[in-house]
Chain A
């Protein structure tokens, strides 16, 4: 009986351990496959749009933004679904050939 209680207590304490560590920052696992997601809300898109502040037309050449649209968040997504493919040759404007995501010295002149 004592062994049963002891194993139960051990099991409970092990089960609760992750809960105590819940405040610790969770490291997100990006680029596990080396192929970043192209989703509009994905990290790849956010890096180029928010951090590097690229205009949509910098990559999506064919897209003509319908700017006279009240809901700002919906402006591009509707258009992109029709004609949103990126010409990868444009990536080489900033990135060196053989670019590896997060790799060292992957930008021209950096």
Chain B
């Protein structure tokens, strides 16, 4: 069974936010609950200074603290499937916010209200899709937690089509954020396969996980630029 993961090369990322925009459209962002964020900060001392652009989305940890706390309180709205993807069931979520509190990466978003992205203009474009026609991961509800799903609707489609080998390669089967990167700073694929492109690149570029001291074992790797935080 595959264990999907992502590699983000901070040396290549130029902070254009194409991945954030693609995710917004693909996953029906609401203003207060974005699933993918661009974090930027300066490193170095004058005159040797430069910017670090670090996109963050769900790390789909091997040991997700969000799932642990959700199970502990008996809600069991968060699951980790056999492909390594951590998902929230909106119908089961009670909106307690415990998952948001315990995630060391600050990932789960408590969606207080379902509002259109553009103030005063009403629903635009993909926002006009009927709820019933949307994938369950896009049938968002107010006062529930939500987060990046690794575009599970696309991975699910690949599984149904019997084309899991095309995940990370074909447009229909690859997360939207990874598709649009103009500098090819993002890679998606099977971490369990040592011959997959992502596994080889992680090894080649000596990519690391963020905040490993929490012990969550995230499935998103970063190739760090000089001075970047981990």
Interface residues of A (CB under 8 A from B): 67-72, 74-75
Q: Looking across the interface, which residue of chain A has its beta carbon closest to that of B56?
A: A70
22 contacts between A and B (CB under 8 A): A67-B39, A67-B41, A67-B229, A68-B39, A68-B54, A68-B56, A68-B210, A68-B211, A68-B229, A69-B39, A69-B105, A69-B106, A70-B37, A70-B39, A70-B105, A70-B107, A70-B109, A71-B100, A71-B106, A71-B109, A72-B37, A75-B106
Q: Does B223 sit at the interface, judged by CB under 8 A?
A: no
Q: Nearest chain B CB to A104's CB is how many angstroms away?
A: 37
Chain A residue nearest to B54 in the complex (CB): A68
Nearest A residue to B105 via CB reads A70
Bound state CA distance, A71 and B107, in angstroms? Answer: 6
Is B57 close to A, CB under 8 A? yes
Inter-chain CA distance A1–B105, complex, in Å, is 73
- In order of increasing CB-CB distance, the 3 nearest A-B pairs are A69-B106, A71-B106, A70-B56
Q: In the complex, A68→B105 CA distance in Å?
A: 7
Q: Which of A70, A71, A74, A75 has the most CB of B within 10 A?
A: A70
What residue of chain B has the Cβ atom nearest to residue A75's Cβ? B106
Write the nearest CB–CB distance from A78 to chain B, whole angstroms. Answer: 9
The answer for the CA separation of A68 and B229 in the assembled complex, in Å, is 8
Interface residues of B in 88-108 (CB under 8 A from A): 100, 105-107
Nearest CB of B to A76, in Å: 11
Q: Which residue on A lies nearest to B35, using beta carbons?
A: A70
In Å, the complex CA distance between A71 and B37 comes to 8
- B150 to A: closest C-beta gap in Å: 15
Check A74 against B41 for contact (C-beta < 8 Å).
no
**Residues of chain A lying within 8 A (CB to CB) of residue B229:** 67-68
Q: Are A74 and B106 touching (Cβ within 8 A)?
A: yes
Distance of A70 Cα from B146 Cα, bound (Å): 13
Output the least CB separation between A56 and chain B (Å).
Answer: 13
Nearest-Cβ distance from residue B99 to partner chain A, whole angstroms: 12
A73→B9 CA distance, assembly (Å): 25
Q: C-beta contact mask, B33-50 vs A, less than 8 Å → 1, else 0?
A: 000010101000000000
* Set of chain B residues within 8 Å of A67, measured between Cβ atoms: 39, 41, 229
Q: How far is the CB of A80 from chain B (nearest CB, A)?
A: 15
Nearest-neighbor residue (CB-CB) of A71 within chain B: B106
* CB under 8 Å from chain A, chain B span 27-72: 37, 39, 41, 54, 56-57
- Distance in Å from the Cβ of B219 to the closest Cβ of chain A? 15
Chain B 202-215 interface 0/1 with A at a Cβ cutoff of 8 Å (1 = within): 00000000110000
